[in-house]
Amino acid sequence: MKKLAVILLALLSSIVSKASEADLVIPQLSPQQNNLLLMGFVVCFLGIAFGLYIFFKIKRMAAHPSMLEVSAVIFETCKTYLIQQGKFIVVLFVVIGSIIGFYFGFLQSYLFSQVALILFWTLIGILGSYSVAWFGIRMNTYANSRMAFASLQRKPVKLLNIPLDAGMSIGVMLICVELIMMLIILLFVPREMAGAAFIGFAIGESLGASALRIAGGIFTKIADIGSDLMKIYFKIREDDPRNPGVIADCAGDNAGDSVGPTADGFETYGVTGVALISFIVLAIGQSLPESEKIMFQSTFLTWIFAMRILMVITSIGSFHLNKQFTKLFHEDKEDLDFEEPLTMLVWLTSLISIVVTFIASYYLIGHLPGYLWVTLSAIISCGTFGAALIPEITKIFTSPKSTHVAETVAASREGGASLNILSGLVAGNFSAFWLGLVFILLMFISYIASSYIPNNLMVYPSIFAFGLVAFGFLGMGPVTIAVDSYGPVTDNAQSIYELSLIEKLPNIEHEIEKDFGFKPDFEKAKHYLEANDGAGNTFKATAKPVLIGTAVVGASTMIFSLILIIQKKLGVQPELILSLLNPYTIMGFLAGGSVVFWFTGASIQAVTAGAYRAVQYIKDNINLDFDADAKASVATSKEVVRICTNYAHAGMINIFIAIFSFALAFAFFSAPSGWARAGSAEGNMSVSFFVSYLISLAVFGLFQAIFMANAGGCWDNTKKVCEVDLGEKGTPLHDATVVGDTVGDPFKDTSSVALNPIIKFTTLFGLLAMEIAINEGFRTISPYVGVVFLMIALVFVYRSFYQMRIIKE
């Protein structure tokens, strides 16, 4: 990595010339607007206090020492993993920081202090993603043992509230932290530097999230597959403590299903905001007098941030209201459909957010001409409604109660693992079709609504509308994160219950009754935990299409900002850039699709190779002798964790450097006149290549991610139906569903989810890469430098398979 950084610096520092930058100059806000947004700090600090209150509330909950001990081991394992990832992210920051420093320091001739400010905000973005990931993992590892112990009390509502409270704490915390950082940039960073600071901040958080998502997804599925296959091979029970893969699996649930989504959610919220800010500054009021332009831009910025602040309030309010409904209707029940209160929370938040959107918009932008407050509220509400509708569509293919899951169970019973896998593929493909139609419908409605925006106010208002749809998806961001974080807590709780061996402890019933004041019900506890894990699987699946949809719809706004920059620098009209008559457009589309399919293959290969080594080690070291210690072996468990960590780290290095190098290579290939004859008409046509590459990456990534996520969700809950509803553990049917689940593991929790930050990082970093490429002093050598980066990318593409192979030649 150090050598790569030196190569990048040598290549880029060879050119020193001047050019204009993106001109993302943030307008000055009025005193009233400043005061309004200053209130946002109060809301955010109260939100952080809410998150910390729940954190300490769950930490103080009672749990048996045997369960607390297991939970502590899991956290220590996760801590070691996160520290190693942090070291790698530091190296990535050095590389990315070199590019940022070169662009602003050399090409833009910024002062050292100005470059340092941008790099500071890039670092803050990285630390933001990394710190909320730490908070999420600590919150979940407190909640898992408390939930495992609470299952003994025959109070299913408590088993709902613990993981949901933990998830809400994480969701509110990460969004409030992100909002505080962005408000500081908006209100206190000098106007001429605020736009660059926003870009630097977004690149930083996207960098951190990408690395954590990729590595976490690889880690968790190596461990999960290694643990699950032992159930077939040795006919042992779920989460058998003698299985060295179980501890690693528990750590992976947090590394992949907690760290990844938490950092991803933080980044998604920030990057979507930066995309809208960029559009507002570049596309609104350009044909108006300067005073009117500043008025409209500052009004829109204030409105966007005020809406974000209100969304924190609506999410917390909806959460408490839903909790009261749950208490009223379900508190005294001994059996509970855990999906029902979660579904109610999602819909309640969506509807309340829509109402608040219209009310707040009336007061904030009701004075603007043409009933803009109605138009813009309707567009945002498309996204907010979609954030509730998309989970419902997703459930059709992934819920334990769905027809597709029932079909997969039936196919597995007669056709074994073969028909199980085929049925899951069908579910994934059908889900991509129907959810694709939902995205089209939402974007079409927003496009129609955008036609009512005055033409002289902004250019291409439909693009702004698409960004607002993505913004609406995040209108219930804390709740989306909460239901996503619900899954790893329920999954870990089930494992902790088994690993603690609490049922086998001497006089345990008497001890619990004496020390904790209730008589435990062990059989009911196991049923609750397994049923709740099914709900967790479902809602993990429902959050994924919302996040990937946000990435794609929001990326369209950021890509258009890039198109406007190209128009300003080169005079190329936007409608000419993506013409199908331009051969570079077609080539860019093909390049984006190629990278998506390589990425999914490379990430699954890292899981396959790592799982092979893990399974090999576990088979050789598992001790199932009658007189063997029933507790988990710390030494063998640590070795499995080491295998998972090493392969996750190696896989992430290969993938991330290739993605990073592809972005630079394809941007540099798009330099004007790079490949055309000097002075020819085709001189500027090549700029289309990188733009179409970004669009292709988003579109191919959307459908690949939805297909893989929902196929995996279907396989996951097919196994859960076999275990919980049918009670057929240890049967041939169960074996078939376990095989299907291990296929689905990297589908849903590695490749699909990592496409989200990859799309956003490439789009954001692409802004800088393309600015360098079209710089007048860089154009002549840009394609040749691009060839070097393409070679670097291809080396790591080669390594992603040939250095990760199971069979070494």
Tell me: the pLDDT tens digits for 726-737?
989 889 999 999
End-to-end CA distance of the chain: 25
Residue 284: strand pairing partners: 458
**CB neighbours of residue 616 within 10 Å:** 13
Which pLDDT does position 38 carry in this prediction? 94
Mean of pLDDT values over 640-650 = 91
Cβ-based burial of 200 (10 A; exposed 0-12, middle 13-18, buried ≥19): buried
Which pLDDT does position 18 carry in this prediction? 33
Which pLDDT does position 15 carry in this prediction? 30
Higher-confidence residue: 585 or 561? Answer: 585
Which pLDDT does position 281 carry in this prediction? 87
- Which has the closest alpha carbon to 611: 712, 752, 741, 721? 741
Which pLDDT does position 57 carry in this prediction? 96
315: tokens are 């999410």
User: Is the model's pLDDT at 686 over the cut of 80?
Assistant: yes
| Percent share of the chain, pLDDT over 70 | 95
3-state helix, strand, coil in the chain (%, to 5): 85, 0, 15
Higher-confidence residue: 317 or 541? Answer: 317
Specify the 3-state DSSP secondary structure of 91. Answer: helix
DSSP 335: S
User: Is the model's pLDDT at 170 over the cut of 90?
Assistant: yes
Label residue 507 by pLDDT band (50, 70, 90).
very high
Q: Give the separation between CA 244 and CA 326, rounded to whole angstroms.
A: 39
Cβ-based burial of 475 (10 A; exposed 0-12, middle 13-18, buried ≥19): buried
Contact 688, 584 (CB under 8 A): yes
Q: Give the separation between CA 92 and CA 678, rounded to whole angstroms.
A: 37
Q: Which amino acid is at 791?
A: M
Contact 272, 641 (CB under 8 A): no
Q: Give the separation between CA 456 and CA 399, rounded to whole angstroms.
A: 48
Q: Give the separation between CA 528 and CA 523, rounded to whole angstroms.
A: 9
Q: Give the separation between CA 380 and CA 391, rounded to whole angstroms.
A: 18
Q: Which amino acid is at 288?
A: L
Q: Give the separation between CA 714 and CA 423, rounded to whole angstroms.
A: 9
Contact 207, 125 (CB under 8 A): yes
Backbone angles phi, psi at 284, to 5 degrees: -100, 130
Give the number of residues written for the chain. Answer: 809
User: Is the model's pLDDT at 295 over the cut of 70?
Assistant: yes
Label residue 3 by pLDDT band (50, 70, 90).
very low
Contact 537, 402 (CB under 8 A): no
Q: Which residues of 340-371 are buried (b: 16+ CB within 10 A; e: fewer)?
A: ebbbbbbbbbbbbbbebbeebbeebbeebeee
752: tokens are 């699909």
Q: Which amino acid is at 766?
A: G
User: Is the model's pLDDT at 178 over the cut of 80?
Assistant: yes
Q: Give the separation between CA 216 and CA 645, rounded to whole angstroms.
A: 9
Contact 717, 534 (CB under 8 A): yes
pTM: 0.90
User: Is the model's pLDDT at 669 over the cut of 60?
Assistant: yes
Which pLDDT does position 673 carry in this prediction? 61
Mean of pLDDT values over 777-789 = 87
Q: Tell me the HSE value of 637 on the side-chain side, using a 13 A CA sphere.
A: 23
User: Is the model's pLDDT at 442 over the cut of 90?
Assistant: yes
The owner of tokens 């072996």 is 633
Tens-digit pLDDT profile for residues 238-258: 778 888 888 888 888 888 777
Least confident of 340-344, 408-412, 499-503, 538-542: 538-542
Mean of pLDDT values over 153-173 = 93
Q: Give the separation between CA 558 and CA 270, rounded to whole angstroms.
A: 12
Which residues are CB-neighbours of 534 under 8 A, at least 6 positions away? 338, 400, 717, 720, 721, 724
Mean of pLDDT values over 681-705 = 86
Contact 242, 521 (CB under 8 A): no
175: tokens are 């969004």
Q: Give how far Cα 281 sits from Cα of 192, 276, 285, 298, 587, Å.
A: 12, 9, 9, 9, 31
Which pLDDT does position 675 carry in this prediction? 53
Q: Give the separation between CA 549 and CA 556, rounded to whole angstroms.
A: 11
Rg (CA), the chain: 26
User: Is the model's pLDDT at 485 over the cut of 50?
Assistant: yes
DSSP 608: H
Mean of pLDDT values over 333-354 = 92
Which pLDDT does position 2 carry in this prediction? 44
Mean of pLDDT values over 559-572 = 80
Tens-digit pLDDT profile for residues 42-63: 999 999 999 999 999 999 999 9
129: tokens are 């993603």
The dihedral over CA atoms of 406, 409, 414, 419, expressed in degrees to the nearest 10, equals: 100
Contact 179, 44 (CB under 8 A): yes
User: Is the model's pLDDT at 11 over the cut of 80?
Assistant: no
Which pLDDT does position 696 carry in this prediction? 94
Mean of pLDDT values over 519-533 = 90
Q: Which residues of 102-135 are buried (b: 16+ CB within 10 A; e: fewer)?
A: bbbbbbbebeeebbebbbebbbbbbbbbbbbbbb
User: Is the model's pLDDT at 554 over the cut of 90?
Assistant: no
Which pLDDT does position 598 carry in this prediction? 97
Q: Which amino acid is at 276?
A: L
Mean of pLDDT values over 698-706 = 94
User: Is the model's pLDDT at 775 over the cut of 60?
Assistant: yes
Mean of pLDDT values over 393-420 = 95
Contact 751, 708 (CB under 8 A): yes
Helices (H) and strands (E) in the chain, counts: 23, 0
Which pLDDT does position 127 carry in this prediction? 93
Q: Taking all residues of the chain, what is their mean pLDDT, rounded to a whole number?
A: 88
Helices (H), 331-371: 339-365
Mean of pLDDT values over 178-183 = 94
User: Is the model's pLDDT at 17 over the cut of 60?
Assistant: no
Which pLDDT does position 682 carry in this prediction? 56
Higher-confidence residue: 777 or 588? Answer: 588
Question: Which string of DSSP letters, residue by residue, matches 213-254?
Answer: HHHHHHHHHHHHHHHHHHHHHS-PPTT-TT-THHHHHHHHHH
Question: Which string of DSSP letters, residue by residue, matches 689-732?
Answer: HHHHHHHHHHHHHHHHHHHHHHHHHHHHHHHHIIIIIS--TTSH
Contact 159, 151 (CB under 8 A): yes
Higher-confidence residue: 540 or 159? Answer: 159
Q: Give how far Cα 717 sits from Cα of 66, 149, 399, 455, 636, Å.
A: 29, 24, 7, 50, 29
Mean of pLDDT values over 760-775 = 86
Contact 610, 649 (CB under 8 A): no
Label residue 610 by pLDDT band (50, 70, 90).
very high
Highest mean pLDDT of the ranges 229-243, 320-334, 600-614 = 600-614
Specify the 3-state DSSP secondary structure of 284. Answer: strand
Which residues are CB-neighbours of 698 under 8 A, at least 6 positions away? 551, 552, 555, 556, 559, 592, 759, 763
User: Is the model's pLDDT at 687 over the cut of 50?
Assistant: yes
User: Is the model's pLDDT at 680 over the cut of 50?
Assistant: no
**CB neighbours of residue 717 within 10 Å:** 31
Q: Give the separation between CA 341 and CA 539, rounded to whole angstroms.
A: 12
